[in-house]
Chains A and B, each alone.
Chain A
Amino acid sequence: MSPKKTDHIRSGISDSGLFREVFDKYVPQLTGFACRFLDEGDAMDAVQEVFVRLWKNGRYRLPASELSPYLYRAVLNVCRDRLRHASVEKNYMAKMSLYLKNEEIEHYETHLEETEEEVIFKKVLRSIDELPAKCREIFRLSYLERKKSFEIAEQLDISRRTVEAQLYKALRILRDKLS
């Protein structure tokens, strides 16, 4: 794993330059992640807080494989604290069930590594790639190209029922893999 570390030790790049790179890479996904628990403004605040701490503790120098889990966990912790302190005066808290939010946070605490954006995207794409060939083609046409099943049937010269059966099969396989 040691060659990874050299990623960030490049000649000429300043600490603040490296920090900015980390910021640009992770802030969009982390803010999105925080938005699952907080409203947008609070989510942005939470991520800011994490990055201020990140600068101070110097962990932005960690290799990506350690940095990403660290950041997600830090965001989760800040969000949990903010949820805990959020009082009823907050309008959205009154609307959002606290129970659901807390359960969700608890879930992430044990499944954080599966939550990182890259991990999810890779897993989904790999799952699609692993579908049987015919299944995959029909699935792509339906979900990525948004074609209706009769259009796919015409295009591939098969019955609509076959298309639907294949889609159903694909969803079953994906469900088992993803859930």
Chain B
Amino acid sequence: MNNTEYCQSSIISYLEGSSGEEERAALEAWLRESTANRELFFGLKALYDSGNKKDLSAQARDLMWSGIAEATGISREDVAAPGAIKRSRPIREFIRYAAIAAIALVTGYGISVYTGSRQEAAMNEIRMEAGTRSSVILADGTVVTINSSSTLRYPDRFGRKREVWLDGEAYFEVAPDKKHPFTVRSRQQAVNVLGTSFNIQAYPGDRYNTVTLLSGSVELELYDKAGNMIALEEMKPYDRIRFDLEEGLYAGTVLDDIDRQRSWKDGIYRFRDEKLDVIAARLARYYGIGITVTDPELGNMNITGSFPLDQPLGEVLELLNWEDKFVVRPVGRDYIIEKK
């Protein structure tokens, strides 16, 4: 389980002053991870604190003034004390709630606790940055492994339907529950599930969505751009359907023995007879940079290979080009792939 998730309640407990040793240790570990985490946390804490501040009592203020008057020699009676200035309570409260809500969104912690109603399911969001992957266990026990540059939105509790939203790629191991169908919605598609393992690739901006079923059964709904359903396909284990969103066409293949072993979940990206264009787009997402293939013919070239996702991109591109068929040119943080 990733640290962010472990840390979510620690953050809130710390802000509220109710964190124990263990929670504080978790928070510290998370803060040490990156400057970004520290920026985020202390920024939100500043916001929270300014909403949480108790008004200084008139008594405390007078005490302070006496101390200062004594130290400076200003006569205490010299000036009249006006009434304490108070900030209206609702705005303060709002700021505190907004800070917690912001933390909730960042860490995927339920908002409902703070909006006062335990009955309503709150929507959580987990966003993976480029180069990160993480798993989350949903309220029903379903395990979702979310890939780089992908976002999963899910309620903290499920009602009659189990429904989640995915932008990008994720691998699902759905907890079996026949009475409550599980649906994953993405751009122009929905996958209805009973209890099963499958992978969805549906990145915003990509031309193709791919759904791969590993066990159980799913029903795949495909929609055109206007939102009309154009296909309803029942998938069997090892079926893979690739959907061309531009053309509204789709094609199914059955995974062979080698493909069946494949999964990015173990941190290895494998591809076989994949177009260079598609690989470049995928790498760009994983590493959060731009890769341009200048020549369409080059983009159509099929490549087979695999590499660990934590390998530096420069090395990956070198591996990709081990037959020396093209030239990789770095431009700032980005890369251009051109003909020799």
Q: Across the interface, do B31 and A103 meet the contact criterion of CB distance under 8 Å?
A: yes
Q: Is the CB of B24 within 8 A of A100?
A: yes
Q: Are B61 and A27 in contact (CB under 8 A)?
A: yes
Chain B interfacial residues counted at CB < 8 A? 58
In the complex the two chains form, is A124's CB within 8 Å of B95's CB?
yes
Q: B63-71, B283-291, B303-311: which lies at the A interface?
A: B63-71
Segment touching A, from B96-104, B132-140, B181-189, B198-206: B96-104
- A37: min CB distance to chain B, Å: 10
A179–B14 Cα distance when bound, in Å, is: 18
Name which of B38, B64, B81 has the most chain A CB atoms within 10 A of its CB.
B64
Main secondary structure of the interface of B (DSSP, over half): helix
A103→B42 contact, CB < 8 A? yes
B98 touches A174 (CB 8 A): yes
Which residues in window 31-89 of B have CB below 8 A to A? 31, 38-40, 42-47, 49-50, 53-56, 60-61, 63-65, 67-68, 71-72, 74-75, 78-79, 81-82, 84-85, 87
B116: A residues at CB distance < 8 A: 146, 148
CB within 8 Å for A44 and B98 given contacts A36-B49, A52-B72, A175-B105: no
A-B contact count (CB 8 A): 151
Indicate if A47 sits at the interface (CB-CB under 8 A). Answer: yes
Q: How many angstroms between the C-alpha atoms of A114 and B72 in the bound complex?
A: 31
B221 at the interface (CB under 8 A from A): no
Determine if B81 and A97 form an interchain contact, defined as CB atoms under 8 angstroms apart: no
Contact A103 B38, beta carbon cutoff 8 Å: yes
A35 touches B53 (CB 8 A): yes
Interface segment, A1-9, A18-26, A79-87?
A18-26
Given contacts A124-B95, A179-B44, contact A51 B85 (CB under 8 A): no
- Give the residue name and chain of the B residue nearest to A115 (CB): B46
Interface residues of B in 237-259 (CB under 8 A from A): none
Confirm or deny: B123 has a beta carbon within 8 angstroms of a beta carbon on chain A: yes
A-contact bits for B115-145, CB 8 A (1 contact / 0 none): 1110010110000000000000000000000
In the complex, are the beta carbons of A55 and B85 less than 8 A apart?
Answer: no
Once the chains are docked, how many angstroms separate the CA of A147 from the CA of B183? 30
Further contacts, 14 of them, CB under 8 A, given A28-B84, A51-B68, A125-B91: A17-B78, A24-B61, A27-B56, A31-B60, A32-B54, A40-B60, A99-B28, A107-B43, A143-B93, A146-B116, A164-B122, A171-B101, A171-B102, A178-B44
Interface residues of B (CB under 8 A from A): 14, 24, 27-28, 31, 38-40, 42-47, 49-50, 53-56, 60-61, 63-65, 67-68, 71-72, 74-75, 78-79, 81-82, 84-85, 87, 90-91, 93-95, 97-99, 101-102, 104-106, 111, 115-117, 120, 122-123
Give 21 A-B contacts (CB < 8 Å), ordered by A residue: A20-B81, A23-B65, A27-B64, A29-B53, A51-B64, A97-B24, A99-B28, A100-B31, A103-B31, A104-B45, A111-B46, A120-B50, A143-B97, A148-B115, A150-B120, A164-B120, A168-B123, A171-B105, A172-B105, A174-B102, A179-B102
CB-CB nearest 8 A-B residue pairs: A107-B42, A32-B53, A20-B79, A28-B56, A175-B102, A55-B72, A52-B71, A120-B50
Chain A residues close to B by CB (< 8 Å): 14, 16-17, 19-20, 23-25, 27-29, 31-32, 35-36, 40, 44, 47-48, 51-52, 55-56, 97, 99-100, 103-104, 107-108, 111, 114-115, 117, 120-121, 124-125, 142-144, 146, 148-150, 160, 164, 167-168, 171-172, 174-175, 178-179
